[in-house]
A and B are shown apart, each in its own frame.
Chain A
């Protein structure tokens, strides 16, 4: 069964450094998403992406965050200057259709900012 793959599975970085989290969505999916889950808290929406542009973003997704689809298979989340509070599990997801369509999630990248 096709799946969403994320790399790395764990990333440790120092405060103020830039990190790039990578995702390969399911190949025939057109909509891509990033969510995050801080330890012990609920899964939170960050951003959705379709047709090479952001379709929706949350208040969390401020100027330190950016997303990109650099080629036909990868989807990335960049955090420009990491803060301690950015430590979380970051999940990439994709869907075949847009609104109301089931999302398929990867297994996440655990980001630890020290």
Chain B
């Protein structure tokens, strides 16, 4: 059975304190790994798609990387507006995204 495990469940950072979020996955025939951001009461907002091991994507203070077993979302010098829940999801041959439970990030001034 496909599984997506995100860690830590919650993370509190000071503004400017860089860190990484982890997404470990077991899926037969990974076709894509997705990172989303979810603010309270809102739908997930697309950030990145990674398709193969070694691939990296960047957007502002965020950088996503992918290996054969896990993905990292690196946050460099975070700001309070980066506070949100970050979701990882994988897909294999089908249409469904299989989500992890997310990492709740709080960045304090």
Contact = CB atoms under 8 A, between A and B. Distances in A.
Given A42-B101, A42-B102, A107-B41, A100 B96 contact: no
A15 interface: no
Interface residues of A, number: 25
Interface in A73-114: 91, 93, 98-100, 102-108
Interface in B49-83: 49, 51
Interface hub of B41, B44, B89 (most chain A Cβ within 10 A)? B44
Contacts, number: 60
Interface residues of B, number: 25
A14 interface: no
- Binding site secondary structure of chain B: loop
A103 B48 CA distance: 11
A31 B42 contact: no
Contact of A102 (B31, B34, B102): B34
A41 interface: yes
Interface in A5-63: 31, 33, 35, 41-45, 48, 55-56, 58
Interface of B: 31-32, 34, 36, 41-46, 49, 51, 87, 89, 91, 93-102
